[in-house]
């Protein structure tokens, strides 16, 4: 290996023994034991994504079969003649062939002809065929007989990223190993160790970002780390997360969480403005959509499993934000958003300006929340006026209604809305079986959850400061965050649920804290009180590093 190649991290830190391989313990144990017990298969088939160690493993297998020191003491520093030749790809009995460039049946015939002669210096003659799925169908068929009954000195090692393209007749004659993606924590530890060996200074969060971007590929991770180290040694200070994001075209997850919150609120203007700020950082549209998908997945996972299943590269503040979002969003909404995001990914290559597509995608999912409910459509279409009155009469009635409203100047804005709603009582169909008894603000939130009115529930919990809640009368403090149709929609829903007309008005008086603010303060108090208990003090005495994360009520059956 040339000195130039030794400077490339992916080659410099290429594993030379089974112990150096990371994340493939099951495969290593199986192969090592088979060699020790002399139960060596005719052919190995190594599959997996790019950069997880397929070709490297093939070379280590070749070393394990031919090393003078045996499988338990494979050469690492002082190499024997076989290990040295295999590392330099110059061993007479270990032939490494790129199947992508030699795909024809004639190339395979030459290989078979060469296999008739025994090894010259080593114990086994080994053929390593990289990307073997590229071999033609005729070439694969030519291999079948030799593969099934090879001479005792001949072994094959196939590697491929596309195992589905290999004929079943070939696969059935091999011992197959699927090399898995390296998990983020293991990859992060490997990158940290490599950074120390290279005398680099890269922040923990930057290494976590590299581990995430590499998607389980060690080679990709080392290539990204090399870019980061070059930049770090240029600026001569520790590489921060912000600098790493700029190098790799990524952005802070908190920005995406804020954008998703705006989407769920239906705030179109601020959503687009936030996306443009992200786009100005040089973020690739495909990266943005994949991260959007990932965040939808995290929200859904939190709803099901809690914080234990959340990816380790998120901060505690970001996990707390995900927790808040997960409590206000239904699974159906998350599933729809997931499908729309996948559709947007498919459409990326159709348009020349991909940022325009992302903006329209965001507008599309925001307006999904404005789709009318089924019961509203049914009640509107079943109204007598809709079908039976001629257009002229309907226009006259609209004009009369408008005149009545304009003459009632003394009424407040909210009362005018209720007058209009009163005229529609004969249009709204009230289901007697759904008649609900709403006596408190909590009852109102509960019925919104039951009826899946999530936008209404979100506003009630986050944007409504209650002044007064009495029988069929609700007064709330004015808030710019409320949807412009909030009062109308709430009034219609209350009439539909209870069969009674409710008066909803905006008050100049200052309201109390929102539902979420009250809930948050109660949770803080509960945490504070729990930390004062004897039980908690005893736990800390025995486990000084223990930390209170959450409090759950232990419900026992009576």
Residue 204 maps to which CATH number?
1.10.8.60
What's the average model confidence in pLDDT over 301-313? 68
Say what the pLDDT of residue 372 is: 45
pLDDT digits over 75-99, tens only?
A: 877 888 888 888 888 888 888 888 8
Residues 29 and 118 in one domain: yes
The boundaries of the domain holding residue 360 are 254-370
Cβ–Cβ under 8 Å, residues 505 and 415: yes
The closest alpha carbon to 53, from 155, 189, 157, 126, belongs to 157
The residue count for the chain: 558
Higher pLDDT, 374 or 171: 171
Give the strand pairing for 94-98 and 503-507.
Answer: unpaired
- Report which DSSP code applies to 108: H
What's the average model confidence in pLDDT over 345-373? 81
Cβ–Cβ under 8 Å, residues 130 and 98: yes
Q: Which of 214-228, 240-254, 369-383, 470-484 has the highest mean pLDDT?
A: 214-228
For residues 70 and 402, what is the distance between their CA atoms, to the nearest angstrom?
95
Supply the pTM of this predicted model. Answer: 0.57
Residues 471 and 397 in one domain: yes
On the question of pLDDT at 159 being above 90, the answer is: yes
Of 116, 150, 178, the domain-final residue:
178
Residues 273 and 209 in one domain: no
Residues 401 and 362 in one domain: no
Is 543 part of a structural domain of the chain?
Answer: no
Lowest mean pLDDT among 177-181, 194-198, 319-323, 528-532: 528-532
327 vs 227, 302, 323, CA distance in Å?
40, 9, 7
Is 547 part of a structural domain of the chain?
Answer: no
For residues 250 and 239, what is the distance between their CA atoms, to the nearest angstrom?
15
What's the average model confidence in pLDDT over 13-19? 88
What's the average model confidence in pLDDT over 518-542? 81
Say what the pLDDT of residue 310 is: 58
Of 307, 337, 370, the domain-final residue:
370
Lowest mean pLDDT among 181-185, 398-402, 473-477: 398-402
Q: What is the CATH number of the domain that holds 318?
A: 1.20.272.10
Beta sheet of 503-507, edge-to-edge order? 466-470, 473-477, 503-507
Residues 96 and 133 in one domain: yes
Say what the pLDDT of residue 536 is: 79
Residues 228 and 324 in one domain: no
Say what the pLDDT of residue 44 is: 94
- Report which DSSP code applies to 161: S
Higher pLDDT, 535 or 55: 55
The closest alpha carbon to 164, from 45, 41, 30, belongs to 45
Residues 36 and 169 in one domain: yes
Residues 20 and 164 in one domain: yes
pLDDT digits over 134-149, tens only?
A: 888 888 888 888 888 8
Give the strand pairing for 466-470 and 473-477.
Answer: antiparallel
Of 351, 370, 389, the domain-final residue:
370
Tell me the pLDDT of the chain averaged across its residues.
Answer: 80
What's the average model confidence in pLDDT over 235-257? 82
**E runs forming strands in 377-489:** 466-470, 473-477
Tally of domains in the chain: 4
- Please enumerate in sequence order all residues whose Cβ is within 8 A of that of 275, keeping only pairs 6 or more positions apart, or say none: 259, 288, 358, 359, 362
CB atoms within 10 A of CB 271: 23
The closest alpha carbon to 491, from 478, 500, 482, belongs to 500
Say what the pLDDT of residue 555 is: 53
Beta sheet of 175-178, edge-to-edge order? 94-98, 125-130, 154-160, 43-47, 175-178
On the question of pLDDT at 422 being above 60, the answer is: no
Lowest mean pLDDT among 28-37, 338-347, 409-418, 429-438: 409-418
68 vs 27, 28, 419, CA distance in Å?
23, 20, 96
On the question of pLDDT at 417 being above 50, the answer is: no
On the question of pLDDT at 376 being above 60, the answer is: no
Residues 316 and 439 in one domain: no
Q: Which residue has the tokens 């070059």?
A: 230
Q: What is the CATH number of the domain that holds 22?
A: 3.40.50.300
Collapsing DSSP states into helix, strand and coil, what is residue 230?
A: helix
Residues 362 and 394 in one domain: no
Is 541 part of a structural domain of the chain?
Answer: no
On the question of pLDDT at 352 being above 50, the answer is: yes
Q: Predicted confidence band at 191 (pLDDT cuts at 50, 70, 90)?
A: very high
Record the tokens describing residue 266, joined without a space. Answer: 């239906």
Is 443 part of a structural domain of the chain?
Answer: yes
Say what the pLDDT of residue 408 is: 41
Is 516 part of a structural domain of the chain?
Answer: no
Is 533 part of a structural domain of the chain?
Answer: no
**E runs forming strands in 233-283:** none
Task: Supply the angle between the helices 285-305 and 268-279 in degrees, to the nearest 10.
Answer: 120
**How distant is the alpha carbon of residue 26 from its chain centre?**
27
Is 550 part of a structural domain of the chain?
Answer: no
Query: Is the C-alpha dihedral spanning 246, 250, 253, 254 positive or negative?
Result: positive
Residues 442 and 316 in one domain: no
Is 522 part of a structural domain of the chain?
Answer: no
For residues 156 and 34, what is the distance between their CA atoms, to the nearest angstrom?
15
On the question of pLDDT at 416 being above 60, the answer is: no
Residues 127 and 8 in one domain: yes
The closest alpha carbon to 495, from 546, 446, 426, 555, belongs to 426
Lowest mean pLDDT among 246-260, 282-296, 357-371, 412-426: 412-426
Record the tokens describing residue 522, joined without a space. Answer: 């109660």
Cβ–Cβ under 8 Å, residues 207 and 191: yes
Q: Which residue has the tokens 């009954």?
A: 149
Q: Which residue has the tokens 């965001």?
A: 362
Say what the pLDDT of residue 87 is: 84
């Amino acid at each position: 290996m040339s000195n130039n190649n030794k400077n490339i991290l992916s080659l410099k830190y290429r594993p030379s023994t089974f112990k150096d391989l990371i994340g493939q313990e099951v495969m290593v144990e199986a192969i090592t034991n088979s060699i020790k017990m002399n139960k060596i298969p005719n052919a190995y088939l190594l599959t997996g994504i790019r950069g997880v160690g397929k070709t490297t493993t093939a070379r280590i297998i070749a070393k394990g079969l031919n090393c003078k020191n045996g499988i338990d003491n494979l050469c690492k520093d002082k190499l024997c003649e076989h290990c040295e030749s295999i590392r330099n790809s110059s061993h007479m009995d270990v032939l490494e062939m790129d199947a992508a460039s030699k795909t024809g049946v004639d190339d395979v015939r030459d290989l078979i002809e060469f296999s008739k002669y025994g090894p010259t210096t080593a114990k086994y003659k080994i053929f390593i065929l990289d990307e073997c799925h590229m071999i033609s169908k005729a070439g694969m068929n030519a291999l079948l007989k030799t593969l099934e009954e090879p001479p005792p000195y001949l072994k094959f090692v196939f590697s491929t990223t596309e195992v589905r393209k290999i004929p079943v007749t070939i696969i059935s004659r091999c011992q197959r190993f699927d090399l898995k993606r390296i998990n983020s924590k293991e990859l992060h530890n490997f990158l940290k160790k490599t950074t120390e060996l290279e005398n680099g200074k890269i922040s923990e969060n930057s290494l976590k970002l590299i581990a995430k971007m590499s998607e389980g590929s060690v080679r990709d991770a080392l290539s990204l780390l090399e870019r980061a180290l070059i930049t770090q040694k240029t600026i001569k200070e520790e590489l921060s997360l912000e600098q790493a994001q700029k190098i790799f075209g990524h952005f802070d997850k908190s920005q995406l969480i804020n954008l998703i919150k705006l989407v769920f609120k239906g705030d179109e203007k601020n959503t687009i403005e936030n996306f443009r700020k992200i786009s100005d950082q040089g973020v690739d549209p495909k990266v943005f959509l994949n991260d959007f998908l990932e965040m939808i997945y995290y929200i859904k996972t939190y709803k099901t499993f809690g914080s234990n299943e959340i990816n380790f590269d998120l901060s505690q503040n970001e996990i707390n934000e995900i927790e808040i979002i997960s409590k206000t969003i239904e699974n159906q909404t998350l599933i729809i958003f997931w499908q729309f995001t996948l559709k947007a990914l498919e459409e990326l290559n159709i348009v020349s300006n991909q940022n325009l597509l992302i903006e329209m995608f965001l507008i599309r999912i925001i307006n999904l929340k404005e789709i009318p409910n089924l019961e509203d459509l049914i009640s509107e279409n079943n109204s007598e006026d809709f079908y039976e009155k001629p257009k002229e009469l309907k226009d006259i009635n609209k004009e009369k209604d408008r005149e009545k409203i304009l003459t009632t100047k003394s009424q407040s804005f909210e009362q005018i809305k209720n007058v209009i709603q009163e005229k529609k009582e004969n249009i709204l169909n009230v289901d007697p079986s759904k008649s609900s008894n709403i006596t408190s603000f909590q009852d109102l939130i509960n019925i919104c959850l039951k009826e899946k009115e999530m936008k209404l529930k979100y506003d009630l919990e986050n944007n409504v400061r209650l002044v007064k809640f009495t029988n069929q009368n609700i007064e709330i403090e004015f808030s710019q965050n409320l949807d412009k149709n909030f009062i109308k929609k709430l009034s219609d829903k209350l009439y539909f649920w209870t069969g009674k007309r409710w008066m909803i008005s905006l008050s100049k008086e200052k309201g109390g804290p929102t539902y979420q603010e009250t809930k948050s303060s109660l949770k803080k108090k509960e945490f504070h009180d729990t930390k004062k208990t004897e039980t908690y003090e005893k736990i800390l005495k025995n486990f000084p590093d223990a930390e209170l994360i959450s409090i759950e009520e232990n419900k026992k059956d009576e």
